[in-house]
Structure 1
Amino acid sequence: MNKRFGRKAILAAAMSGVLAGMALLAGCGTGTQEGAVKVRIGEVTRSIFYAPQYVAINKGFFKEQGLDIELLTTAGGDKTMTTLLSGGIDVALVGSETSIYVHQQGSDDPVLNFHQLTQTDGTFLVSRKPLQGTFDWNTLKGSTFLGQRKGGMPQMAGEFTLKKHGIDPKKDLNLLQNVDFANIPTAFASGTGDYVQLFEPQATMIEQQGKGYVIASFGVESGKLPYTVFMTKKSYMTKQPDTVQKFSNAVQKAQLWVASSSPEQIAEAILPFFPDTDKAVVVGVVKRYKDQGSFAADGIVDTTEWNNLQDVMEAAGELKQRADHAKLVDNHFAEKAKSSVKP
């Protein structure tokens, strides 16, 4: 996430974000419902990591709440946030750090986190060579590490984990951060780096190609934090509280469904959103995320998770000052959904 939210930069990024999002309008929505309230969601990327969102759409949980969902993929945290700020979308699915970055720049209409979807980092450490015996993080020292974008949550969680194991990313590694997000898997498969930090399903695909091996999880290592959260502007929340509550209800029902369903059942429900991905890969990825507790059981962003997020940001040098949980998190929609929604 770019920390500099200058007025011109916001407008330019917002326009590009809206255009990109419209171009990538998902073909898997619920369709138009007579009398339904339209809600435009901007997701930071299309990812199996967000399985409960796709379940809520495909299983009709939003429709049950009288909501007509329009899903846009607004690639990148900066574009997603600026599209939200400019009114191009109503709700953003993005990392909580973006709301903190906006808060740091000052805003008359703050962005509020209201329903958490994922509660761990979603990346994995992939080695070019298979693991021999028990993994020791010290083996990374002196290696070439293909990392994620500076200032983004994946990179911050990665650096937090490395430092936890006594590794200084800037001194102990040849850290590469000059590869675009979409090209990182290809760069590693082509021979760049000894280790790489990858999301799924790219990590699994690299394994299937025999080009690398998953040896550790940054999600497990960095602990629970509000990694991906639905958020909206305070003005929207004030004007549309019933819509926000219905939205939270639908997501909570999907979270309960995911918690009680098998990876095979979840994969079947979300496959329409991943037409070019083999079902066996989707099943494996869902299982990996489910086994490590990445899917949040409810939407509540608690203070422990919020503080852990800021510890991660602080360790990466990306936090000017700590943000008050009460100012940027509104849990009452998620709390009501948790207490009232049944499987």
Structure 2
Amino acid sequence: MRGDRADLALFRAFDADRRRRCLPVGADRAIPVTPVRLRVVEPFRSLFYAPQFVAIHGGHLAAEGLEIALTTAAKGGGTVDALLNGKADLALGGLMRSFELLERGGPRLVHFAAVNDRNGFFLLSREPRPRFAWSALVGRTVISFGGAPTPWLCMQAVLRRHGVDPARVTFIRELSTPDAVATFRAGKADFLEHGPPVVDQLIADGAGHLVASMGEATGPVPFSSFMATPQMLRRERDVFVRFVRGLCRAQRWMSAATAAEIAAVIAPAFAEIGAEIRVRAVERYLRQSTWVGDPMVTRAGFEALQEILLGGGFITRRHRFEDLVDTALATHVVSTMAG
């Protein structure tokens, strides 16, 4: 996996204009001659993961001499399997996957670079509810996102926070996205919790009405981050520093970019989603501060998520921040990057 680093003297012969053409805005280091191939697995394809796609399609990782081989897991938890089986070098996913492994006495998977800081899902109602209150879910049926348990666990936490017993709500949790949409359209559920472009299409069709942003309702939590085995992080430390630096450049670029600019850069990853819906989804995510400005996974966010997992019974004991998070890479990158 390691690649040869370029002799910096070679690049001193390049003129400034050529270097500007080769590097993304803000890049300040030379490109290694031989790209290093990194195998990355994502849990599912989502606009929620825009920073990953800006890093790839915006050229920020290529500027670090990294060639990304991105695959999408075939099932929930497939990211964990890929890491433990050696089929991926790093994975994008939720901290809850690492909590779950430790809870079962399994191996550690360490999170080292944050991608988003909010729940990325939204709650739709089949009926307009201009004065929506969480008590409206009592006695109703809610279709939860079936690809991961964290959205459902966050929903439970939000309900309890508003004095609603989750046991008084009927949840449908295991449907695929097509089945969830079909069930909702057929009137077999009162609410649907999902992300874009599903929510945007249902709203556009008049089949659903937005009543709550789960990101705003849940509050800041490290919802998704990059993770790897401790062995991989130790063995390929230099390569992972380059990956985190490329991601950080993408995050800084996004902090100053418009929704239209972000939507345009990530378009190659979402060919099936129209430009208007892409822009609308990105705008919604920007409004609620979904994406972090740097790759630091914070202790405060970790503890907030741990409370949600404990409250929902997903874990039965507390786990140490240091066992699941490595902040050294992000700290080094943030402290040494120019601009």
Name the TM tier (shorter chain): 0.7 to 0.9
Identity %: 29
Q: Flag structure 2 segments of 5+ consecutive residues without an equivalent.
A: 1-31
User: Is 2:337 the partner of 1:337?
Assistant: no
Amino acid at match of 1:147: S
* Per-residue deviation, residues 104-144 of structure 1 (Å, max 9, x unmatched): 2234x521100010111111110111123x32211221212
- AA in 2 matched with 1:60: G
Alignment of 1:242-253 (within 5 A): 242-253=238-249
Bigger shift: residues 330-339 or 98-107: 98-107
Letter in 2 for 1:220: E
The one-letter code of the counterpart of 1:110 is R
SS at match of 2:187: coil
Equivalent position SS for 1:70? strand
**CA deviation profile, 1:193-245 (whole Å, cap 9, x unmatched):** 11111111111111011100111111111111111000000000110000110
Residues 1:234 and 2:230 aligned together: yes
Structure 2 counterpart SS, 1:309: helix
Where does residue 48 of structure 2 map in the other structure?
49
189, 192, 200: which one pairs with 1:193? 189
Q: Structure 2: which amino acid aligns with 1:78? A: G
Partner amino acid, structure 2, of 1:53: Q
Could you say which residue in structure 2 is the equivalent of 1:8?
none
Change (3 A) 1:115 1:308: same
One-letter amino acid matched to 1:112: V
Does the CA contact (< 8 Å) of 1:143 and 1:173 recur in 2? yes
Shift of 1:178: 4.0
Moved more, 277-286 or 186-195: 186-195
Structure 2 CA distance for aligned equivalents of residues 87 and 229 of structure 1: 19
Q: Is the 8 A contact 2:76 2:148 kept in 1?
A: no
In the other structure, the counterpart of 1:118 is: 116
For 1:123-138, what aligned pairs fall within 5 Å after superposition? Answer: 123-132=121-130, 134-138=131-135
The yes-or-no answer on 1:301 pairing with 2:282 is no
CA distance in 1, matches of 2:116, 2:74: 18
1:237 partner SS: helix
CA contact (8 A) 1:159 1:169 kept: yes
Which of 313, 321, 325 aligns to 2:321? It is 325
Task: Measure the CA separation in 1 of the matches of 2:258 and 2:319.
Answer: 38
Letter paired with 2:109: V
Task: Please tell me whether residue 144 in structure 1 is matched to residue 114 in structure 2.
Answer: no
CA distance 1:151–1:42, change in 2 (3 Å): closer
Residue 121 of structure 1 contacts residue 294 of structure 1 at CA under 8 Å; is this kept in 2?
Answer: yes
Question: Which of these residues, 243, 255, 258, is aligned with residue 259 of structure 1?
Answer: 255
Within 2, Cα distance between the matches of 1:113 and 1:106?
A: 18
- Identify the residue that residue 38 of structure 1 maps to in structure 2: 37
Larger Cα-atom Rg: 2
In the alignment, structure 1 segments of 5+ residues that lack a partner are: 1-32
Q: Is the 8 A contact 2:110 2:324 kept in 1?
A: yes
Contact 2:108–2:229 at 8 Å: present in 1 too?
Answer: yes
1:23-43, Cα deviation, whole Å (9 max, x unpaired): xxxxxxxxxx96111101100
Q: Judging changes above 3 Å, is the alpha-carbon distance between structure 1 residues 257 and 35 closer, same or farther for their aligned structure 2 residues?
A: same
Report the CA distance shift for 1:75/1:287 in structure 2 as closer, same or farther (over 3 A): farther
The alignment's TM-score, normalised by the length of structure 1, stands at 0.86
- 1:169 shift after superposition: 1.9
Kept in 2, the 8 Å contact 1:151–1:318? The answer is: no
Name the aligned partner's letter for residue 35 of structure 1.
Answer: T
Distance 2:111 2:65 in 1: 22
Q: Give the Å deviation of 1:174.
A: 2.4
Residue 226 of structure 2 aligns to a residue in which SS?
A: strand
Question: Once superposed, what is the RMSD of the aligned Cα atoms?
Answer: 1.6
**1:52-63 correspondence runs (5 A):** 52-63=51-62
* Local SS of the residue matching 1:142: coil
Whether the aligned pair in 2 keeps the contact of 1:145 and 1:173 (CA below 8 Å) is yes
**Counterpart in 2 of 1:88?**
87
Match of 1:79 in 2: 78
Given that 2:76 and 2:147 are in contact with CA atoms closer than 8 Å, whether structure 1 keeps it comes out as: no
1:206 aligns with 2:202: yes
Change (3 A) 1:124 1:303: same
Q: Judge conservation of contact 1:204–1:281 (CA < 8 Å) in 2.
A: yes
> 2-side partners of 1:138 and 1:235: how far apart?
47
Distance 2:329 2:120 in 1: 25
Measured after TM superposition, the shift of residue 190 of structure 1 is: 2.5
**Higher mean C-alpha deviation, range 281-290 or range 122-131:** 122-131
Deviation track 1:159-179 (CA, whole Å, cap 9, x = no partner) reads: 111111112222x22222242
Give the residue type in structure 1 aligned to 2:208: G
State the AA in 2 paired with 1:111. L
Does the 8 A contact of 1:266 with 1:286 survive in 2?
A: yes
The alignment partner of 1:61 has SS state of coil
Once the two structures are overlaid, the 10-residue window that deviates more, 113-122 or 98-107, is 98-107
The alpha-carbon deviation at position 328 of structure 1 amounts to 1.1
Cα distance 1:76–1:323, how it changes in 2: closer, same or farther (>3 A)? farther
Letter in 2 for 1:131: R
